[in-house]
Amino acid sequence: MIYRMFFVIALLLATASCTAAPASEETAASVVGETTGASALQIVLVSADFAVGEPRISFAVFDGDKAAADIASIRVSAVELGEDMAATDAVPSWSGEATGYTDYEVPYWVFYPQLGSPGYWGMVAEITQDDGTTSRADFLVQVQPASKSPAIGAAAPASENRTLATEPDISLLSSANDPDPALYQLTVAEAITTGRPTVVGFLTPAFCQTKWCAPVLNSLMAARAETGDAVNYIHIEVYDDFQKLTVVKEMAEWGLDTEPWVFVLDADGKVVARFSGPLSPTELLASLEPLL
């Protein structure tokens, strides 16, 4: 199928609202596309750090200022844009179904397109609602030659993050209202020697500025309730000083300048899954299932 693309307005929106976040902030949840036809549905991109290959791209669908709750399916097509980033009559190089996750505070969708080169890519979302109504929304994704953070298959940094052994006051280790001590027992360096899978979350529940980030810690705790001690769970708080809001050294070690991020490591300490932005218990547990 040939799509006539409408990315000029989308590009202006992306330029205005998707500037790089400081290291201490979460991924910006920014509307970067416009909807064609009569529908008011809009795409909100909620993940970051896309590289050549098959990056995880997550987004939400909004109807006005509320999350759309009546979406039956979404098919996404990827189009490599020209140098002017406004290609027309383009044939998609990839198309596939997005997977929806509703067990999160705000429902979101995920797809893994095959993107063969860096630069701007136009995404066309064909949205089917429960009543059979269809509409289309276009949005932009900027793809880098390589990820800044550990890629799938890479060895995780053996971080010596703070734990209850080095900082007994848990209120200094986490900005959560009621932190679970089980998430602050191990350094990453220790975890990767246990022979068990490990989940590492870079999160700041009290200081995140959108609805996307705070529930990620709840997802880690929900997954831990399912897997028990078969998996190591580590929460690395983004800030080491809640007054000065200085960022922990592990953010730089892992190449992160946004949050939330969650990495799943296998028993050998290799990255097998990586998640930027919202992460539901279902999506996290699905990544752990092959390791158990």
Residue 61 belongs to domain with CATH number? 2.60.40.10
Tokens of 100: 């929806």
248 within a domain of the structure (yes/no): yes
Shared domain check, 176 and 134: no
155 within a domain of the structure (yes/no): no
The enclosing H or E element of 253 equals: helix 249-253
Least Cα distance to 216 among 112, 105, 135 occurs for 105
Shared domain check, 190 and 225: yes
Shared domain check, 136 and 67: yes
Shared domain check, 126 and 191: no
Q: How confident is the model at residue 30 (pLDDT cuts 50, 70, 90)?
A: very low
Shared domain check, 92 and 15: yes
- pLDDT score of 21 more than 80: no
Rg (the chain; Cα; Å):
19
Tokens of 191: 């975890």
User: How many angstroms separate the CA atoms of 227 and 231, rounded?
Assistant: 6
User: How many angstroms separate the CA atoms of 185 and 232, rounded?
Assistant: 9
Coil, strand or helix: which one is 17?
Answer: helix
74 within a domain of the structure (yes/no): yes
pLDDT for res 50: 95
Shared domain check, 231 and 102: no
CA–CA distances in Å: residue 180 to residues 83, 153, 177, 183, 190: 49, 29, 10, 6, 19
pLDDT for res 7: 46
User: How many angstroms separate the CA atoms of 227 and 218, rounded?
Assistant: 14
Domain boundary among 94, 129, 144: 144
Shared domain check, 139 and 19: yes
User: How many angstroms separate the CA atoms of 165 and 187, rounded?
Assistant: 10
Number of alpha helices (DSSP H) and beta strands (DSSP E) in the chain: 5, 18
Tokens of 39: 């529908």
CATH (domain of 270)? 3.40.30.10
165 within a domain of the structure (yes/no): no
Q: How many domains does one find in the chain?
A: 2
Coil, strand or helix: which one is 207?
Answer: coil
1 within a domain of the structure (yes/no): no
- pLDDT score of 251 more than 50: yes
The answer to whether the CB of 224 falls within 8 A of the CB of 264 is no
User: How many angstroms separate the CA atoms of 184 and 164, rounded?
Assistant: 6
pLDDT for res 15: 33
Angle between the 281-288 and 215-227 helix axes, to the nearest 10 degrees? 40
Domain boundary among 127, 144, 161: 144
Shared domain check, 131 and 24: yes
Shared domain check, 112 and 188: no
221 within a domain of the structure (yes/no): yes
Q: How confident is the model at residue 39 (pLDDT cuts 50, 70, 90)?
A: low
Q: How confident is the model at residue 86 (pLDDT cuts 50, 70, 90)?
A: low
194 within a domain of the structure (yes/no): yes
Shared domain check, 135 and 203: no
162 within a domain of the structure (yes/no): no
Torsion of CA 289, 149, 137, 120, to 10 degrees: -140
pLDDT for res 88: 54
pLDDT for res 2: 45
Shared domain check, 238 and 174: yes
Domain boundary among 110, 144, 178: 144
Mean pLDDT of all residues in 208-214: 73
Q: In degrees rounded to 5, what are phi and psi of residue 253? A: -60, -35
Average per-residue pLDDT in the chain?
86
Mean pLDDT of all residues in 12-30: 35
User: How many angstroms separate the CA atoms of 113 and 95, rounded?
Assistant: 7
Domain limits for position 212: 170-291
